[in-house]
Structure 1
Amino acid sequence: MQAKNGDKVKVHYTLKINDGEVVDSSAGAAPLEFTLGDGRMIPGFEGGVIGMSAGEKKTINIPVDLAYGPRNERMVFEFPKDKCPEGFEPQLGQQIQLNRPDGKSFVATVTGVTEGGYTMDANHPLAGRDLVFDLEIVEISA
């Protein structure tokens, strides 16, 4: 059975950025389980899984536009210290949930500290990166 949209698949994976650095893996854990076509996964990952069979292994290269997209410098901003709760001092690299004026929340990473606040980056950590996935299909069910 070859994987197609609507199928539930279980996949073991190793994610590398294009210089070969491993940034995530399901090794030693349960396989990733998702339904093809439900939009939960990045397009390049889903496209790479479609047509694979249980037990099959494959390496897929995913360009930026089919991964997390290009970096958007408008998503890097200064957050004033006086907007932080008293006693709260974020650390470099810390991810913080912030609220937009419309009440929706988003996550940003602290990338710098200035006298008056913090430099925040709301881009996905892998934005602007080509990705490489080593995949193994564990199971496919309709």
Structure 2
Amino acid sequence: MTTATKGAHIELHYRLILEGGFVVDETGADPITLEIGSGEILPGLEDLLVGLEAGDHREFAIEAGVMFPFPDPAAIQQMPRSQFPEDLPLQVDYIYEFNSPGGETVPGRITAVEDSAVTVDFNHPLAGQNFTFEVDVLSVREP
């Protein structure tokens, strides 16, 4: 049986699950295939795949601050309501995409909506969160 190493192609299902059981991200019905070490997923998560074989099921408990930094209070910004389209339904806990001054698209989670201002948290949604990385390995091909 082939063991996953750097450069190997691994086909898998995964789920990122918060402590309360909320699934943040998952592959869904179709598995993904990625090359370990190529940066297709977070490098720390890729490292956890090394040594796995087809048929393996693993659940990795990830502590807050290990894969994602702790929240930075400076990343929480209050923006004028007028900067948002009038027909855009702004709801607390929804994640919207914003354009940074450099032209990149960045996610921001709405934390408060008032008549004249909207508070947006630009920290990574998993910043400061404990979560589980669950994987089911379907196949491993050598590099």
TM-score w.r.t. the length of structure 2 is 0.83
SS at match of 1:125: coil
**Are the counterparts in 2 of residues 67 and 131 from structure 1 also a CA contact under 8 Å?**
no
CA displacement at 1:100 relative to structure 2? 2.0
CA displacement at 1:115 relative to structure 2? 3.2
TM-score w.r.t. the length of structure 1 is 0.84
**Which residue identity is paired with 2:53?**
S
CA displacement at 1:87 relative to structure 2? 4.0
SS at match of 2:77: strand
Structure 1 44/103 Cα, relative in aligned 2: closer, same or farther at 3 Å? closer
Provide the rounded CA distance (Å) in 2 between the counterparts of 1:22 and 1:94: 15
Q: Residue in 2 aligned with 1:10? A: 11
Structure 1 127/12 Cα, relative in aligned 2: closer, same or farther at 3 Å? same
Give 4+ residue runs of structure 1 displaced > 6 Å after superposition: none
**Are the counterparts in 1 of residues 99 and 105 from structure 2 also a CA contact under 8 Å?**
yes
SS at match of 1:79: strand
Which residues of structure 2 form unaligned runs of 5+? none
Q: CA RMSD in A?
A: 2.0
**Number of residue pairs matched by the alignment:** 140
Provide the rounded CA distance (Å) in 2 between the counterparts of 1:33 and 1:136: 12
Q: Residue in 1 aligned with 2:61? A: 61
Instruction: Say whether residues 1:119 and 2:119 are aligned partners.
Output: yes
Which residues of structure 1 form unaligned runs of 5+? none
